[in-house]
């Protein structure tokens, strides 16, 4: 099963927009689905995810697309961790790592 994989080594505006859309949607969903028993943990995770998302916007405005892409991945990583740990009650496996 030696399937050839297309190599992508450029972060263009279109790719960045796609990841902003996905992470923005995930951030909104997480904010609406906090496990009330873990609200303090959720607050911390949402704060970090929002900060990385905002940093990504700043990097994008500076035309630093690689840094913006990296910051978006950190933001989404925080959200995935919260989802996996049950801090957010989300079920969308296309956007989150779910149990």
Task: Answer whether 0.85 is exceeded by the pTM.
Answer: yes
What is the DSSP secondary structure assignment for residue 87, as one 8-state letter?
A: S
Q: What is the pLDDT of residue 2?
A: 62
Look at 17 and 7; give whichever has higher pLDDT: 17
Q: What does residue 83 show for φ and ψ, rounded to 5 degrees?
A: -65, -50
- Report d(CA 23, CA 76) in Å as an integer: 6
Task: Give the list of residues 6+ apart from residue 20 with CB closer than 8 angstroms, or none.
Answer: 56, 57, 60, 72
Tally Cβ neighbours within 10 Å of residue 9: 4
Identify the three-state secondary structure at position 88.
Answer: strand
Fold for 13-84, please state it: Substrate Binding Domain Of Dnak; Chain:A; Domain 2 (1.20.1270)
What is the arithmetic mean of pLDDT over 3-32? 90
């Amino acid at each position: 099963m030696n399937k050839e994989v297309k190599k992508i080594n450029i972060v263009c505006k279109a790719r960045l927009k796609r990841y902003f859309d996905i992470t923005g949607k995930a951030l909104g969903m997480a904010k609406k689905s906090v496990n009330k028993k873990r609200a303090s943990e959720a607050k911390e995770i949402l704060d970090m995810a929002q900060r990385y998302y905002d940093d990504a916007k700043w990097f994008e405005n500076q035309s630093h697309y690689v840094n913006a892409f990296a910051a978006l991945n950190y933001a989404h990583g925080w959200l995935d961790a919260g989802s996996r740990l049950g801090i957010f009650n989300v079920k969308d496996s296309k956007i989150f790592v779910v149990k």
